[in-house]
Amino acid sequence: MFATRFAPSPTGRLHKGHAFSALTAWSAAKAAGGRFVLRIEDIDPTRCKPEHEAAILEDLAWLGLDWETPVRRQSDHLSDYAAVIDDLNRRGLIYRCFRTRKEVLASIGDAPHGEMEAVRPGPHPREEEARLMAENRPFAWRLSLDRAREALGESLWNGLSFVEEGAGPAGETGVLPVRPEAAGDVVLARKDAGVAYHLAVAHDDALQGIDHVIRGEDLFEATHVQRLIQTLLGWPAPVYRHHRLLTGPDGRRYAKRDQSVTLAELRAGGLTAEALRAELGFSSVD
């Protein structure tokens, strides 16, 4: 059965960009007679707040959406992700990284065209790692692209792909090749949380039977990483639909960091959900 999701992080109040994304996914589920899942992605212990989670549920209900219950809250399931990290570690696909952000940045040079090279610091020398572990220093787990490539073999590695039914930032659509190199040796478990975004998303999409990932084109690059993770773990490949990002009157996209006007403020100012849905191009929720 068609199943999609909206997976906000409770780091602030929702704005119109979120409303557009949630309505896009929800409408697709309704049109297909499928499932709509709401997932709270709150693994960042410093930025996520319970009050934002409550506000998200309130805003989405006001918007006219409904979803399956119970709602999965990622921070309640850290042991699930830890089990996957154990598995990847046993298979030698990840390595401990004790470096600070500054050290990681210093480890990358400038690529010929002035773009930053992908972050691939590599494992620490064995003795150094043993010393850092003995000192109980915190570490992240990074995916080793070299080991992943070895594990999959050249033909599987070169044939990695995903189906894009929407379009990427440059209009990419159809069966697209996965380019894991672009993201580098991504962190799969943060020092402070025991898991990181890509692993939690790929795990939960598989666990929740999500076969259509519908989300903004800002996460297009993330799809490359997540397809690799799914392949390494034998999880199914969803179809992807990346949608355009909504822009405000100034032509810039909505983002929490710009203090975009929130749905709660719009509501307090008298905007009705019906008017907002119509403005965003969704005429009816029936």
Cβ of residue 47: shortest distance to ligand GLU, in angstroms?
A: 11
Question: Token pair for residue 63?
Answer: 């918007």
Distance from C-alpha of 68 to C-alpha of 197, rounded to nearest angstrom? 22
Cβ of residue 215: shortest distance to ligand GLU, in angstroms?
A: 4
Binding mask 24-63 vs ligand GLU (x if CB under 6 A, - otherwise)?
-----------------x----------------------
Region binding ligand GLU by CB under 6 A among candidate stretches 4-12, 130-138, 154-162, 274-282: 4-12
* Sign for the pseudo-dihedral over CA of 42, 47, 48, 54: negative
Of the candidates 176, 201, 225, 228, which one interacts with ligand GLU according to CB under 6 A?
201
3-state DSSP assignment of residue 94? strand
Look-up of token digits 């692209």: 145
Of 63, 12, 9, 71, the residue nearest 36 (C-alpha): 71
Q: Give the torsion through C-alpha atoms of 60, 46, 220, 22, to 10 deg.
A: 0
Distance from C-alpha of 29 to C-alpha of 72, rounded to nearest angstrom? 18
Binding status of residue 217 toward ligand GLU by CB under 6 A: no
Of the candidates 85, 119, 163, 219, which one interacts with ligand GLU according to CB under 6 A?
219
Look-up of token digits 């990074």: 142
Region binding ligand GLU by CB under 6 A among candidate stretches 3-11, 62-70, 82-90, 145-153: 3-11
Nearer to ligand GLU, 41 or 217 (CB): 41
Binding site for ligand GLU (CB under 6 A): 7-9, 41, 201, 215, 219
